[in-house]
């Protein structure tokens, strides 16, 4: 028994622990709404409060339903079942917040009663509760329609189509939406329904065309009657005089916003302003046509050759026109024709704009190499002209190439003009073989310029590196004798020329196997190094004083090399016979080894004989290098 009693006490304590309080009932639950008559088409916040006699109850399931209007949201909503029903769970304070839009009222039903239902379920204790409440929706109390206005305050032209806008306001000075309006006008014709409800701004709009007048009947006046009713007991009417006149074309002035100049390919808004007798004219029917470019259609495409429309309340009509792309680099005057119909009045007008071209830009792609060229070979210069935006080749462009030295093919001058082909390329050839290079490698700056009817002129330059070619020097070697005895001196005269002109400062180096050079400056008697003078000459004396008698009857070789700029010319070895006496047999002085074929040539024979005679019996060897 003691054990059982303890268990009963524990169970009893668990029932009164905080957080597990007994709800017992939902009797204090209520639907909470704003007081009074609610306005139509207005958002309101409603609440369902779930509670017992002491506190709000959280975690209750609430199904909320409205008979009219539409439910928008709830922070606790599990989801909108429909526009009239939602399911939600009460929050920690026992509330369910609901946003609801009240229904629209109209002339026939100025007030609507809306029923609100809330079904509450509390599963933890199997409790339920149903709530209901009725609220009213309607317009504010209106004692009368205080004001009816319409927009036709100026004469209407014969056969003119106009818009009549009626505005209704109540005794509170506010626009009255959903007010029944009827218009009656005994002349002309309504082209839309003359009866209907005002909108949220208290406005009702109809279209009406004025009657056709004649010179015999140039004007007509009639009463426009407007009846406005909010309810059978709240209504008002007003009469307005409508004046219709024949009008005169001379009173019509047409103004255009089109500028004097328009860039090709651009969209230009054109605003037409119509004045009638110095007053902005609404309702003028306008048609504009052009032979170039296109007007924008309703889908935004520029495909129309003419545009139509009606001037608005400020007397204006705006159309959009896209200027064409021009075929060449010339300005073009584009004409527009305008036809205006205003009732029985018809007016034409012409205006124009000058379309000017938009010059594109080149970009240049250098195609040929910029280095590795030799002076003695024709140098190709190639480039490509491309459109700077599309990168497509630009054909038939005029290109001029020029340089500070050298001769271009075709023109035989320092400038050549070329035309780009279908790939936008040009190729010119320049010859610099006759140019005197100061250094072995020299830069040649090529200046290019390009122009075309659709492109801005462009100019630039490119530097080319060219290696100097070896000069084609000629060498004449003159020896006093081809034989030598003890103590004898032999003079060696070397002459250097380039195409018959003497070449100064050519360095010549001579070396010998025996003997010595008298005027050697190298410090080694058996070697000599010197330069040609202004006449292209260098004279060297070779002596045999230091040769032993026993060395005679032998052969001596003198080897000659030439150095000019950065190039070396090997002129070969020349033989001199050494004898004990001058009566010894003679031999020709020839190179010890022949020059390499194709690199130089040795001229002996008749030319050498002629030069020998001219020199007074000396031996002459002529050696020329290509």
Give the pLDDT confidence of 370-384 residue by residue, as tens digits: 887 877 788 899 999
Q: Among 101-105, 392-396, 513-517, 605-609, name the one with the lowest average pLDDT.
A: 605-609
Question: Mean pLDDT throughout 250-254?
Answer: 90
Structure tokens at 586: 């003679």
Q: How far is CA 529 from its chain centroid?
A: 69
Structure tokens at 448: 């290019």
Confidence of residue 521 (pLDDT cuts 50, 70, 90): low
Confidence of residue 12 (pLDDT cuts 50, 70, 90): very low
pLDDT the model gives residue 109: 75
Whether residue 602 has pLDDT greater than 70: no
Q: What is the pTM of this model?
A: 0.40
Residue 575 CB-half CA count within 13 A: 14
The DSSP code for 102 is P
Q: Between 11 and 335, whose confidence is greater?
A: 335
- The CA distance from 186 to 21, in Å, is 79
Per-residue pLDDT tens over the stretch 210-251: 998 877 788 899 999 999 988 777 888 999 999 998 888 888
Q: Are strands 294-296 and 285-290 parallel, antiparallel or unpaired?
A: unpaired
- The CA distance from 563 to 593, in Å, is 20
Question: Mean pLDDT throughout 405-425?
Answer: 91
- The CA distance from 395 to 454, in Å, is 11
In degrees and rounded to multiples of 5, residue 9 shows phi and psi of -65, -45
pLDDT the model gives residue 342: 84
Mean pLDDT over all residues of the chain? 82
Q: Between 385 and 157, whose confidence is greater?
A: 385
pLDDT the model gives residue 625: 54
In degrees and rounded to multiples of 5, residue 574 shows phi and psi of -120, 135
pLDDT the model gives residue 585: 35
- The CA distance from 84 to 270, in Å, is 51
Q: Highest mean pLDDT range out of 256-270, 366-380, 507-521, 556-570?
A: 256-270
pLDDT the model gives residue 546: 67
Residue that has been written with the tokens 């031999």 in this structure: 587
Whether residue 438 has pLDDT greater than 80: no
- The CA distance from 433 to 436, in Å, is 8
Per-residue pLDDT tens over the stretch 57-87: 999 999 999 999 999 877 766 666 788 899 9
Contact 270, 300 (CB under 8 A): no
Question: Mean pLDDT throughout 495-515?
Answer: 90
In degrees and rounded to multiples of 5, residue 106 shows phi and psi of -145, -175
Q: Among 81-85, 114-118, 338-342, 354-358, name the one with the lowest average pLDDT.
A: 81-85
pLDDT the model gives residue 405: 85
Per-residue pLDDT tens over the stretch 441-479: 788 889 999 998 888 889 999 888 887 777 788 899 988
Confidence of residue 171 (pLDDT cuts 50, 70, 90): confident
Q: Which phi-psi region, left, alpha or beta, contains residue 551 (left: φ > 0; alpha: ψ -120 to 50)?
A: alpha
Q: Between 438 and 339, whose confidence is greater?
A: 339
């Amino acid at each position: 028994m003691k054990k059982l009693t303890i268990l009963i006490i524990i169970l009893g304590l668990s029932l009164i622990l905080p957080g597990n309080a007994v709800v017992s009932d939902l009797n204090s639950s209520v639907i909470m709404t704003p007081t009074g008559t609610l306005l139509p088409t207005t958002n309101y916040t409603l609440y369902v409060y779930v509670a017992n006699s002491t506190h709000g109850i959280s975690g209750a399931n609430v199904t909320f339903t409205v008979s009219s209007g539409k439910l928008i949201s709830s922070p606790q909503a599990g989801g909108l079942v429909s526009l009239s029903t939602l399911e939600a769970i009460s929050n920690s304070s026992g509330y369910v917040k609901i946003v609801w839009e009240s229904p629209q009222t109209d002339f026939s039903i100025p007030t609507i009663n809306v029923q609100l239902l809330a079904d509450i379920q509390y599963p933890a204790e199997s409790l339920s509760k149903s709530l209901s409440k009725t609220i009213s929706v309607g317009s504010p109390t209106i004692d009368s329609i205080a004001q009816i206005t319409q927009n036709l305050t100026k004469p209407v032209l014969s056969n003119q189509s106009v818009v009549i806008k009626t505005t209704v306001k109540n005794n509170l000075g506010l626009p009255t939406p959903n007010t029944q309006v009827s218009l009656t006008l005994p002349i002309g014709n309504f082209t839309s329904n003359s009866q209907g409800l005002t909108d949220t701004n208290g406005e009702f709009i109809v279209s009406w065309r004025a009657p056709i007048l004649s010179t015999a009947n140039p004007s007509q006046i009639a009463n426009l009657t407007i009846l406005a009713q909010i309810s059978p007991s709240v209504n008002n009417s007003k009469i307005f005089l409508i004046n219709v006149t024949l009008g005169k074309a001379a009173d019509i002035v047409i103004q255009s916003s089109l500028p004097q100049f328009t860039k090709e390919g651009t969209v230009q808004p054109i605003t037409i302003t119509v004045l009638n007798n110095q007053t902005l004219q609404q309702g003028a029917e306008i048609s504009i046509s052009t032979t170039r470019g296109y007007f924008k259609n309703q889908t935004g495409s520029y495909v129309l050759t003419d545009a139509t429309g009606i001037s608005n309340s400020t007397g204006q009509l705006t159309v959009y026109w896209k200027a064409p792309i021009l075929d060449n680099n010339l300005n073009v005057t584009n004409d527009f024709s305008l036809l205006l119909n205003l009732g029985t009045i018809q007016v034409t007008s012409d205006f124009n704009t000058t379309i000017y071209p938009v010059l594109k830009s080149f970009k240049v792609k250098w195609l040929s190499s910029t280095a590795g060229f030799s002076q003695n070979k024709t140098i190709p210069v190639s480039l490509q002209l491309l459109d700077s935006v599309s990168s497509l080749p630009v054909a038939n462009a005029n290109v001029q190439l020029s340089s500070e030295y050298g001769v271009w093919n075709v023109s035989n001058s320092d400038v050549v003009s070329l035309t780009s082909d279908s790939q936008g390329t040009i190729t010119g050839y320049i010859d610099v073989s006759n140019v005197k290079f100061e250094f072995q490698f020299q830069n040649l700056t090529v200046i290019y310029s390009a122009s075309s009817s659709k492109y801005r002129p462009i100019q630039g330059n490119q530097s080319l590196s060219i290696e100097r070619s070896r000069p084609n020097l000629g060498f004449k070697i003159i020896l006093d004798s081809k034989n030598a005895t003890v103590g004898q001196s032999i003079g060696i005269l070397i002459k250097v020329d380039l195409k018959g002109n003497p070449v100064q400062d050519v360095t010549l180096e001579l070396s010998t196997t025996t003997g010595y050079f008298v005027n050697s400056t190298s410090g080694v008697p058996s070697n000599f190094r010197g330069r040609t003078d202004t006449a292209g000459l260098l004279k060297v004396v070779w002596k045999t004083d230091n040769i032993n008698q026993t060395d005679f009857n032998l052969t001596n070789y003198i080897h000659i090399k030439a150095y000019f700029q950065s190039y070396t010319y090997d002129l070969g070895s020349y033989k001199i016979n050494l004898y004990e006496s001058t009566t010894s047999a003679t031999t020709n002085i020839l190179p010890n080894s022949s020059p390499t074929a194709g690199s130089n040539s040795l001229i002996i024979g008749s030319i050498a004989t002629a030069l020998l005679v001219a020199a007074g019996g000396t031996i002459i060897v002529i050696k020329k290098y290509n």
